[in-house]
């Protein structure tokens, strides 16, 4: 597959491969003129929230940020709710192992911005906010240029904001807090943002890739959109695969494609297991990965969730218990430190998993007790995401867990950093 190197700054380069829809014609660059040429002869955009929702429902377009919420439902709710709507494009990414949104904003910003304009005009919004990652500075520069190039032609005004450098920065409520002038941290919300979000106004907040998919749908029409993918899940999605190569790979993949050959193309394999869904993901053993296809439904049946499409294969010789201990230690350090169960529970959980990794405990009871204590408590799903990888590790790696409980580990020693948390 042909690919381009995407430099997002500060050591965050990735390889992006050419794809069928989103990442098509990469060699022509991200400029506005090229983008406009591709849109010549496109269908007219829907003029109302209802019309747009029907178009989105025709392909069951789901959010690509991890929650997989139907975009049509957000559009319908915001179009009917009281107050002038506002649109937010969430490209903050948050999860360090994910690079798809940064890649999309650098290579195809106009596709994302078209999608945002499409939704904004249909629901009658008067502003679009685009939020980009704090730790990838060239993304902000690229998006600013793209916005300036099209400022005259766009009916709805757009503004750009940089998120803080933290794991939870991309969480929906955290993004709205940032835009409201408060710290970029999650909060408990009593009503969905489509009803009352930014400043109490109906807010459609969705992942950058979701808007790009909506723009493709509006440009090409339902039939062409459904010509790739499966009947139940038409279209494509972006994946980030972090294999053995010198940098991660971002791929655009049609739903229904087998995962194993994709891993190979990204210099990776799942012979030692795969963490599917990033740091908040699920461990899958090699056997489960062998026949897996890129499909949200197939992954649920396999006991995982595709989330934001991050695939982290475990390198050969690395112990999954130790790797999980490092991941949990990192996640504990990324707590916003505002909600008691997360602030105290996650570090305690990190210690407990680390003790298991070091072979220092004879029972995993404490880990289970702590997981039950932190789940579903807190303003966001950070604790739930953290326990997901631990639960799947206990379930899928029983032999390794047994070995560690008796004080040994056969895999090559991966140093658990002493000061990691």
Partner 1 sequence: MHGRRGRCPGWCVVSASTRAPDPARQQLTVDWQSCDGHGLCAEILPELVHLDEWHFPVVQRAVPKELERLARAAVVACPKLALKITKP
Partner 2 sequence: MLSNVVQAAGLVEEAPVLWYANRGSGFVLLGLLTVTTVAGVLAGAVPGSREWPRAATQAMHRNVGLLSATFLALHVVTTVVDEFVDVRWWQAIVPFTSGYERIWLGLGVVGLDLILAVIITSMLRHRLGHRLWRGIHVLSYLAWALGTVHGLAMGTDAGTRWGVAFAAVCTMAVAVAVGARLVSLRSAPPSAGAPKANPVTTHRGMP
Q: Which of 9, 48, 50, 73 binds partner 1 (CB under 8 A)?
A: 73
Binding partner of 57, given partner 2, partner 1, none, CB within 5-8 angstroms per partner class: partner 1
Binding partner of 58, given partner 1, partner 2, none, CB within 5-8 angstroms per partner class: partner 1
Closest residue by Cα to residue 320 from 286, 367, 362: 286
Query: Quick one: 59 or 130, whose CB is closer to partner 1?
Result: 59
Q: Which of 300, 316, 365, 412 binds partner 1 (CB under 8 A)?
A: 300
Piece in contact with partner 1 (CB under 8 A), picked from 97-105, 187-195, 244-252, 309-317: 187-195
Shortest Å distance, C-beta 378 to partner 1: 5
Cα(257)–Cα(241) distance, integer angstroms: 15
Tokens at 76, concatenated: 């319908």
**DSSP conformational letter for 285:** -
Beta-strand pair 236-241/3-6 = unpaired
Q: Does 309 participate in binding partner 1 (rule CB under 8 A)?
A: no
Q: Does 180 participate in binding partner 1 (rule CB under 8 A)?
A: no
The 3-state DSSP class for residue 27 equals: helix
Beta bridge partners of 274: 284, 313
The 3-state DSSP class for residue 381 equals: coil
Site string for partner 2, 67-106 (x = CB under 8 A): -----------------------------xx---------
Cα(1)–Cα(311) distance, integer angstroms: 19
Q: Which of 19, 94, 192, 229 binds partner 1 (CB under 8 A)?
A: 192
The 3-state DSSP class for residue 39 equals: coil
Chain positions 10 to 29 lying near partner 2, rule: CB under 8 A, are: 10-12
Chain positions 363 to 392 lying near partner 2, rule: CB under 8 A, are: none
Q: Which of 26, 160, 318, 405 binds partner 2 (CB under 8 A)?
A: 318
Q: Convert 59-85 to b/e letters by CB count within 10 Å (16 or more is b).
A: bebbbbbbeebebbebbbbbbebeeeb
Q: Does 181 participate in binding partner 1 (rule CB under 8 A)?
A: no
Cα(208)–Cα(396) distance, integer angstroms: 33
* Residue written as token pair 């994709």: 262
Q: Which of 18, 25, 51, 57 binds partner 1 (CB under 8 A)?
A: 57
* Residue written as token pair 């390198």: 315
Neighbours of 122 (CB within 10 A): 27
Neighbours of 333 (CB within 10 A): 15
Specify burial of residue 347 (Cβ count, 10 A radius: 0-12, 13-18, 19+): middle
Q: Does 134 participate in binding partner 2 (rule CB under 8 A)?
A: yes
Q: Does 69 participate in binding partner 1 (rule CB under 8 A)?
A: yes
Q: Which of 28, 34, 36, 60 binds partner 1 (CB under 8 A)?
A: 60
Q: Which of 55, 78, 167, 404 binds partner 2 (CB under 8 A)?
A: 167
Query: Quick one: 127 or 189, whose CB is closer to partner 1?
Result: 189
Binding site for partner 1 (CB under 8 A): 57-60, 62, 66-70, 72-73, 185, 187-188, 190, 192, 296-297, 300, 305, 338-341, 344-345, 373, 376-379, 381
């Amino acid at each position: 597959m042909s690919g381009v190197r995407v430099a997002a700054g500060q050591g965050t380069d990735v390889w992006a491969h050419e794809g069928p829809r989103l990442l098509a014609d990469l060699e022509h660059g991200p400029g506005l003129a090229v983008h406009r040429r591709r849109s010549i002869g496109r269908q007219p955009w829907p003029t109302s929230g209802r019309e747009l929702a029907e178009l989105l429902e025709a392909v069951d377009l789901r959010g690509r940020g991890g929650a997989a919420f139907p975009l049509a439902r957000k559009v319908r709710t915001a179009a009917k709710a009281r107050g002038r709507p506002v649109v937010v494009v969430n490209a903050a990414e948050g999860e360090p192992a994910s690079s798809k949104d940064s890649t999309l904003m650098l290579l195809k910003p106009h596709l994302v911005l078209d999608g945002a304009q499409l939704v904004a005009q249909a629901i009658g919004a008067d502003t679009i906010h685009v939020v980009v990652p704090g730790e990838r500075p060239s993304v902000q520069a690229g998006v600013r240029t793209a916005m300036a190039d099209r400022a005259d032609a766009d009916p709805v005004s757009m503004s750009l904001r940089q998120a803080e450098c933290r794991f939870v920065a991309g969480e929906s409520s955290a993004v709205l807090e940032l835009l409201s002038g408060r710290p970029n941290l999650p909060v408990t919300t009593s009503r969905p943002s489509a009803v009352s979000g930014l400043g109490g106004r109906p807010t459609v907040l969705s992942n950058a890739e979701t808007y790009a998919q909506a723009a493709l749908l509006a440009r090409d029409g339902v039939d062409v959109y459904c010509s790739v993918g499966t009947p139940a899940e038409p279209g494509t999605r972006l994946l980030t695969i972090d294999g053995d190569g010198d940098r991660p790979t971002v791929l655009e993949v049609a739903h229904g494609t087998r995962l194993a050959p994709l891993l190979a193309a990204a210099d990776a394999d799942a012979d030692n297991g795969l963490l599917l869904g990033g740091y908040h993901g699920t461990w899958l053993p090699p056997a489960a990965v062998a026949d897996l296809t890129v499909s949200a439904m197939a992954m649920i049946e396999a006991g995982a969730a595709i989330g934001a499409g991050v695939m982290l294969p475990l390198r050969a010789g690395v112990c999954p218990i130790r790797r999980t201990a490092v991941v949990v230690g990192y996640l504990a350090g990324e707590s916003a430190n505002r909600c008691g169960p997360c602030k105290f529970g996650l570090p305690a959980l990190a210690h407990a998993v680390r003790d298991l990794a070091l072979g220092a405990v004879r029972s995993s009871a404490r880990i289970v007790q702590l997981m039950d204590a932190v789940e579903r408590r807190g303003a966001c799903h950070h604790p739930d995401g953290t326990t997901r990888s631990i639960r799947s590790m206990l379930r899928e790696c029983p032999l390794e867990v047994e070995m560690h409980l008796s004080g040994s580990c056969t895999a090559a020693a991966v140093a658990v950093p002493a000061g990691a948390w």
